[in-house]
Amino acid sequence: MMASVPDLVKARERIKELRQRIEEHNYHYYVLDQPLISDREYDALMQELISLEKAYPQLLTADSPSQRVGGGLREQFKTVQHPQPLLSLNDVFNEGDLRDFDRRVRAITGRTVAYVVEPKIDGLSVALTYSDGVFTLGATRGDGRVGEDVTANLRTIPILPLRLKEAVPYLVVRGEVYMAKNAFARLNAEREQAGEPLFANPRNAAAGSLRQLDPAITASRKLSLFVYQIIAATGLKVDSQYGALELMAKLGLPVNPYRVLAPDLDAVLTEIRAWSPQRRAALPYEIDGLVIKVNDLALHSVLGATSKAPRWAAAYKFPAEQATSRVEGFILRVGRTGTLTPTAVLTPVRLAGTTVSRASLHNEDYIRAKDIRLGDTVVIQKAGDIIPEVVEVLPEKRSGEEEPFVMPKQCPVCGAAVVRTPGEAAYRCSGGLACPGQVMESITHFASRGAMDIMGLGPAIVSQLLEAGLIKDVADLYYLKEKDLLKLERFGPQSAKNLLEALAASKDRPLESLLYALGIRHVGARVAQILARHFGSLERLAAAGEEELTALPDIGPRIAASVQEFFAEPRNRAVIDKLKEAGVRMTAEAAPGETGPLKGKTFVITGTLPGLSRQEAETLIQQAGGRVSSSVSRKTDYVVAGEKPGSKYVRARELGVTIIDAAELRRLLQQ
Ligand code: IVH
């Protein structure tokens, strides 16, 4: 049922008001750490917003606080029963298979049929429900019968229309959520910087991003969508698959522009042959084949389906482009966080449009599992068409001279011991910032865009500076002099001036950028932001205990341990001191504890404060800039007296110190 106009207007106003209030409380809670209302009151506001947004989905926007951490957080996804099973497709790998498929179709229908050819998008399948033209439910395919309710996450995909161009009473469409090649590359680069495991291909990345409990993470992942099938509908007339695609496009749904109506199988084959590897490589997203569908929808019911797949469609899978080459050597790359990644050096070969001379071997376990040895002939392919990898070894090509890979005991760059963290596949160099390999990577990261954003300081210049002995760590950058730079190759007065200016400007980067720039393991841009907002200064973060860290949203024991390890390392502390001396900003704009309404005031608490534990009161006072002391003296500014105050109360009266109650304290805090 459509809502009446006055209801909708009222709902819109109330939603706006609720969002403003919740955002304000979020700010007080997360940023200032001074909640103005109890958790219960906050939850009530959020619940009201969520139920209004449920009742009026057209008013829900991706920027609503209900979509954020906390508000949008669910323990797990609800399950959704699909209106009809979301089937899979039968794969075919060559023209012969496809002719067999066409023969079966003609045998059952008794005539020549026309087909639609569509790209087979490599992502994950979803079912989207629109009621009265409004997007109300989105589910993953799941086991085909029952999927997971990922509506909130799907709403964050910009191309997904929250409302159709026409208020069709009921429409369920099927489509594919995918991650474009460039978004995938960027995400993996960020994960590498943060020392997090990489996604093997865009499909895994898309699936991992959509099945996040926090829609804000999904929103940051740059997902996209194509729809390709009408699953159920009322109030629509469609009699062909081609017509369905056109109709969905007309309703504003994203339909892939490549769709070809082929009058018979020969036309389909001509179409398939037109897909060269280059054409496929030029698409901004991955496709792993073409889908061939009978065009006439009436024939779909005639042909029917097996329990797994319809008989009216087939997935033609592109052959994976492979090549053979020889392993000429193993090299180890030292990452910013010290992870040693083995890479195979190959005899150069052409593969999917590029010359390949390296293949990632991921880690030692991978090499063992595939038994890859020096001198082996190997089959390689590009995983998701991007990163070349070794598919298999051809043992029949072995001469017996091949040598197994051995992880060195010492870092090939700095000679420090190589260690393996229990429970992880990766080996790491233990040299820390003393390892030039790690230093090179960590300085380049420090200067990069999302970090300190030092324009003009790329890998080539970092390596020049290191080689000239002008820098040993990131802090040395801020002590560079013009005369030092002028000694370097390719440095003139102008480029030296530019670099020094960029360095000076970077001193005022926000705390979260500095935190990210320091390259603490597992602290990516997002975690850095959470930490900066909560702690307000590097000093406070360095002093934080595990409990305070893990109490924060999205911070688990792994991140907490990594933060504590980083600040416990004397070499890291020395670098931070040097940065501080150089004038690099170490605090957020308004650091809790350093400014605030109670700045410079000393408090003593006595008795039980109504509605406030002793610990809470102390934290609130400290975060508003005040100090809490345990004994009353002439220097005490306020004694906060609760029920049953003790001797401190008596002492305060003797000394004439101002005595206040909990309500008065709250008033001071809110000033
Ligand atoms: S039609 C019953 N069309 O490929 C019809 N599927 O390997 C089912 N896919 O699970 C699907 N692009 O996730 C169809 N243009 C397209 C597709 C497509 C990608 C996916 C879909 C399906 C899988 C089967």
Per domain, the residue ranges of the chain are 2-67, 79-317, 322-404, 432-581, 602-669
229 lines ligand 1 (CB under 6 A): yes
Q: What is the third-level CATH fold of 79-317?
A: D-amino Acid Aminotransferase; Chain A, domain 1 (3.30.470)
**CA-to-CA distance for 102 and 265, rounded, in angstroms?**
7
Q: At what angle do helices 436-447 and 459-467 cross, to 10 degrees?
A: 130
Phi, psi of 276 (to 5 degrees): -80, 160
- Taking CA atoms only, the protein residue closest to ligand 1 atom 4 is 120
Residue-level pLDDT at 68: 53
Q: Which atom of ligand 1 is nearest to the CA of 229?
A: 1
Average pLDDT over residues 606-624: 80
**Parallel/antiparallel/unpaired status of strands 313-317 and 91-92:** parallel
Residue-level pLDDT at 522: 87
Distance 90 CA to ligand 1 centre (A): 10
User: Which helix (H) or strand (E) covers residue 439, if one does?
Assistant: helix 436-447
Q: Is the pLDDT of residue 610 over 80?
A: yes
Residue-level pLDDT at 130: 95
Share of the chain above pLDDT 90, in %: 47
Distance 313 CA to ligand 1 centre (A): 9
- Average pLDDT score over the chain: 87
Residue-level pLDDT at 612: 80
Confidence of residue 631 (pLDDT cuts 50, 70, 90): confident
CA distances from 397 to 11, 327, 376, 378, 393 (A): 72, 12, 7, 9, 9
Pocket test for ligand 1, best of 89, 143, 275 (most atoms within 8 A of CB): 89
Q: Where are the beta strands (DSSP E) in 483-637?
A: 602-606, 627-629
Distance 102 CA to ligand 1 centre (A): 18
315 lines ligand 1 (CB under 6 A): yes
Three-state helix/strand/coil letters over 292-319: EEECEHHHHHHHCECCCCECCEEEEECC
Q: Is the pLDDT of residue 329 over 70?
A: yes
Neighbours of 593 (CB within 10 A): 21
**Helix residue ranges per DSSP H, 490-556:** 493-506, 511-517, 525-535, 538-542, 546-550
**CA-to-CA distance for 46 and 66, rounded, in angstroms?**
7
Q: What is the third-level CATH fold of 602-669?
A: Rossmann fold (3.40.50)
Residue-level pLDDT at 72: 32
**CA-to-CA distance for 143 and 189, rounded, in angstroms?**
32
Half-sphere exposure at residue 310, Cβ-oriented, CA atoms within 13 angstroms: 22
Share of the chain above pLDDT 70, in %: 93
Average pLDDT over residues 134-156: 91
CATH numeric code, 432-581:
1.10.150.20
Phi, psi of 95 (to 5 degrees): -65, -35
Among 645, 528, 505, residue whose Cα is nearest residue 583: 505
Lowest-pLDDT choice from 37-46, 126-135, 163-172, 174-183:
37-46
**Helix residue ranges per DSSP H, 251-390:** 265-273, 277-282, 297-303, 364-370
Looking at the chain, the number of H-run helices and the number of E-run strands are: 25, 24
Q: Is 54 a catalytic residue?
A: no
Distance 88 CA to ligand 1 centre (A): 7
What would the two tokens of residue 79 be? 């399950």
Could you tell me if 587 and 536 are in contact, meaning their C-beta atoms sit under 8 angstroms apart? Answer: yes
Average pLDDT over residues 45-74: 71
118 lines ligand 1 (CB under 6 A): yes
Q: Is the pLDDT of residue 385 over 90?
A: no
**CA-to-CA distance for 217 and 611, rounded, in angstroms?**
35
- Eight-state DSSP code of residue 397: G
Biggest distance spanned by C-alpha atoms of the chain: 106
Please give the radius of gyration of the chain, using alpha carbons only, rounded to the nearest integer: 31
Q: Is the pLDDT of residue 413 over 80?
A: yes
Tens-digit pLDDT profile for residues 187-220:
888 887 776 677 777 888 898 899 887 788 888 8
Tens-digit pLDDT profile for residues 49-61:
988 988 888 888 7
Residue-level pLDDT at 27: 61
Distance 77 CA to ligand 1 centre (A): 23
Could you tell me if 184 and 207 are in contact, meaning their C-beta atoms sit under 8 angstroms apart? Answer: no
What homologous superfamily is domain 322-404 in, according to CATH?
A: Nucleic acid-binding proteins (2.40.50.140)
287 lines ligand 1 (CB under 6 A): no
CATH architecture of the domain 2-67 equals Orthogonal Bundle (1.10)
- Between 406 and 387, the higher pLDDT residue: 406
Q: Where are the beta strands (DSSP E) in 170-222?
A: 170-179
Residue-level pLDDT at 436: 83
87 lines ligand 1 (CB under 6 A): yes
Average pLDDT over residues 80-109: 93
Q: Is the pLDDT of residue 375 over 60?
A: yes
Please, what is the end-to-end C-alpha distance for the chain in angstroms?
48
Tens-digit pLDDT profile for residues 277-297:
889 888 999 898 999 999 999
Distance of CA 33 to the CA centre of its chain: 26
Q: Which of 120, 222, 382, 648 is catalytic?
A: 120
310 lines ligand 1 (CB under 6 A): yes
Q: Is the pLDDT of residue 31 over 60?
A: no
Average pLDDT over residues 3-25: 83
Pocket test for ligand 1, best of 86, 116, 122, 125 (most atoms within 8 A of CB): 125
Tens-digit pLDDT profile for residues 339-373:
898 999 999 988 866 678 888 888 888 899 999 99
Could you tell me if 553 and 69 are in contact, meaning their C-beta atoms sit under 8 angstroms apart? Answer: yes
Could you tell me if 349 and 325 are in contact, meaning their C-beta atoms sit under 8 angstroms apart? Answer: yes
Report the predicted TM-score, pTM, of the whole model to 2 decimal places. Answer: 0.55
Q: Is the pLDDT of residue 446 over 80?
A: yes
Among 518, 445, 439, residue whose Cα is nearest residue 472: 439
